[in-house]
């Protein structure tokens, strides 16, 4: 009858798990890139940014005269001087299921708040349809934008999971992975999944980055194609 003694323990552990879930505790995991570093495409292999294109925000508006994007010759990082500019840099290849790995940090300005940028997947070529993982100083962890629902433009439903804010301060590196698999889109931030949306009706599109008023650096821009898996 020893198993009867285990019942209270199991019940207690179950209650602890429920309390943790209610408190918004999340399971820490490694990134997909750390878990399996094989099969990834380096999106910055060409330092001239060949294969990328600038897309105006709002769509079809007059392009900015100044190009804010360049790859630093010494560090190999993509630098975006987005001060006074709002636009996207889009990888010019339509993609379906896959994982977009991005590492980013803002150039910290003392006394400055409201840092802003974004990471995109499954966008339309002109940027009218866009699915963005918010990039900011701690204001991160969710996907928003304009999608298609039953063929009509609509806002992306709320999808942020309960849990602590995982974004880091300006000046520190953050790591994102957005995974698209069929209608499901998930956002992984600095060690845990923070958003899940199982209703995307846009099966393919373009991935990209946003310039929106601040100096930001990107590195390790990599993509793993899941269409063949």
Q: What CATH number does the domain containing 81 carry?
A: 2.60.120.560
Lowest mean pLDDT among 18-22, 96-100, 107-111: 18-22
Q: Are 188 and 69 in contact (CB under 8 A)?
A: no
**Confidence at residue 9, expressed as pLDDT on a 0 to 100 scale:** 41
Q: How many residues does the chain have?
A: 229
SS (H, E, C) 37-103: CCCEEECCCCCCCCCEEEEECCCCCCCCCCCCEEECCCCCCEEEECCCCEEEEEECCCECCEEEEEE
**Confidence at residue 16, expressed as pLDDT on a 0 to 100 scale:** 41
Task: Tell me the mean pLDDT in the region 202-227.
Answer: 97
Nearest alpha carbon to residue 217 among 70, 88, 67, 78 = 78
Residue at 201 is within a domain: yes
Task: Tell me the mean pLDDT in the region 148-173.
Answer: 96
For residue 122, the enclosing domain spans 28-225
**Confidence at residue 11, expressed as pLDDT on a 0 to 100 scale:** 45
Lowest mean pLDDT among 15-24, 59-68, 95-104, 115-124: 15-24
User: What pLDDT, in 10s, does the model give residues 117-142?
Assistant: 999 999 999 999 999 999 998 889 99
Q: In the chain, how many domains are there? A: 1
Mean of the per-residue pLDDT values of the chain: 90
**Confidence at residue 2, expressed as pLDDT on a 0 to 100 scale:** 44
Residue at 175 is within a domain: yes
Residue at 15 is within a domain: no
Q: Is the pLDDT of residue 91 over 50?
A: yes
Residue at 23 is within a domain: no
Q: How far is it, in rounded angstroms, from Cα 158 to Cα 103?
A: 24
Residue at 96 is within a domain: yes
Q: Is the pLDDT of residue 113 over 70?
A: yes
Task: Tell me the mean pLDDT in the region 202-206.
Answer: 98
**Confidence at residue 26, expressed as pLDDT on a 0 to 100 scale:** 75
């Amino acid at each position: 009858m020893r198993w009867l003694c285990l019942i209270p323990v199991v019940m207690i552990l179950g209650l602890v798990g429920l309390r943790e879930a209610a408190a918004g505790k999340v399971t820490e995991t490694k990134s997909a890139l750390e878990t399996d570093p094989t099969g990834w495409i380096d999106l910055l292999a060409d330092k001239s940014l060949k294969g990328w294109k600038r897309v105006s925000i709002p769509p079809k508006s007059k392009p900015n005269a100044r190009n804010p994007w360049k790859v630093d010759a010494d560090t190999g990082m993509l630098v975006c001087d987005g001060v006074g500019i709002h636009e996207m840099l889009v990888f010019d290849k339509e993609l379906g299921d896959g994982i977009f790995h991005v590492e980013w940090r803002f150039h910290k300005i003392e006394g400055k708040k409201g840092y802003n940028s974004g990471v995109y997947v499954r966008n339309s070529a002109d940027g009218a349809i866009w699915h963005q993982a918010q990039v900011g100083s701690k204001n991160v962890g969710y996907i928003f934008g304009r999608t298609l629902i039953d063929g009509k433009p609509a806002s992306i439903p709320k999808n942020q999971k309960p849990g602590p804010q995982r974004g880091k301060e300006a000046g520190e590196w953050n790591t994102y992975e957005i995974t698209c698999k069929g209608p499901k889109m998930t956002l992984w931030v600095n060690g845990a999944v923070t958003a899940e949306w199982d209703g995307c009706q846009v099966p393919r599109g373009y991935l990209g980055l946003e310039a929106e008023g601040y100096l930001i650096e990107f590195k390790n821009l990599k993509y793993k194609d899941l269409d063949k898996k």
